[in-house]
Amino acid sequence: MPAFLFVINVVISTFFTIIKCIYYYSIQFMSEKNISIKQSGSISLKALTWLRDYHLPTDPICYHVAYTLFDKPNPDLKTRVAMLNKNSEHIKDDIYQIYNDYIISDHDFELNEFTKKVGKLVKKTEMSIDDTKDSFKNYINNLETSKKKLKNKTNSVITVIALLLEETEIVNKKAQLLEKELEVASNSIKALQKEHLSHKSKALYDPLTDILNRSGLMAAYEEIEDIDSNYPISIVIGDIDCFSKFNAEHGHIVGDQILKLIASTLRKNLNYKDILSRFGGEEFLILLPKTDKIKAKDVVNNLRNKLDKIAVKKRGANAYLPKLTLSFGISEINSCLDFNSGIENADKALLKSKENGRNCVNFT
């Protein structure tokens, strides 16, 4: 294969790899809120009213903080907002700081850095390709000139051949240089793809408990939903009883440690095929493939027994923290019942467990 055809193939392959890398990275970092338009409108109205009461502008950052405040906020964010003085002349600066501290995630920063790296790589590769394209264009023009000279008997054939050899050598060197630069670009892309996989993993996991978050849960469900042999699938929602009161009495740092401990206990006592995720603040959602709701209840009762054995000492005291229990709701889905309906049914069963005195399990 001629050198320039080889280079063109490498160029095409390289750019497709870059585009694919950017596409998949971007897709993994796009997570949709699972709420209705009506719910979103209600939250927006509360957010706008709050901004008005605090004499804040409805710019994107202030609105984002206000919306988050009324849409299952981070407890620490809620505490920070509660401490604001609405009459302070620096309140807008305080809101911007809250935005930086609690809303801009590490993933956003990593995505920006990743995009910059890809942008630099694309720009450098484009410059090399443009340079080589110009050389090919000059080479073709010189071929046309040589063709005309050959028709002119006053020009010696040797002179024309020498010119062609000289131009061919120039193009060959350009092709070799581009090949080396594309090899460097290819290695850079491999490094970026490795980085992408790392970021992808972070985007699917809850940073506190190191189990799947909602995005990770949906990705895991999509991998099993089309396999008929996985049904029935039981959906289990577990909610820590009276956790808000526990946090108020012992602090959010202790609460975070308890969340991690519970997540770890659940993970250790589930089957390798089962899927564990943090579904909300103190809510966990478990998918049990190839498990009907009767068997799922046995699984959950075993988990409750393991959780009941957790004992945590108070820091700096010879006493233990009060035991925390979980209430559970179970539903069962098959290939005809959609995932969201299954979650709603499990939520109803969880509510029944709460109404029945907590620390129990019900199914629908």
Domains in the chain (CATH in brackets) are 1-204 (no CATH), 214-363 (3.30.70.270)
The pLDDT, as a whole number, for residue 28 is: 43
* Burial tier of 278 (Cβ tally within 10 Å: 0-12, 13-18, 19+): buried
Q: What is the pLDDT of residue 240?
A: 96
pLDDT single digits (tens) 305-329: 999 999 999 888 889 999 999 999 9
- Residue from 169, 182, 161, 162 nearest 138 by CA: 169
Residue 24, pLDDT score: 45
Mean pLDDT of 184-212: 73
Determine the pLDDT at residue 291.
97
Mean pLDDT (whole number) for 218-247: 94
Q: What is the mean pLDDT of residues 3-12?
A: 48
* Region 159-187 average pLDDT: 69
pLDDT of residue 48: 83
**What's the pLDDT score for residue 244?**
92
pLDDT of residue 93: 87
Among the residue ranges 29-38, 244-253, 265-274, the one predicted with the least confidence is 29-38
pLDDT score of 341: 92
- ∠ CA 100-104-105, nearest 5°, is 130
Question: Has residue 204 got a pLDDT over 80?
Answer: yes
Residue 243: its pLDDT value, please? Answer: 94
Q: What is the mean pLDDT of residues 156-175?
A: 67
**pLDDT at res. 30:** 40
- What pLDDT shows up at residue 20? 47
Q: How many whole angstroms separate alpha carbon 298 and alpha carbon 309?
A: 17
For residue 128, is pLDDT > 90? no
Neighbours of 192 (CB within 10 A): 19
| Mean pLDDT, all residues of the chain | 79
Place of tokens 């901004």: 51
Q: Which residue has the higher pLDDT, 250 or 202?
A: 250
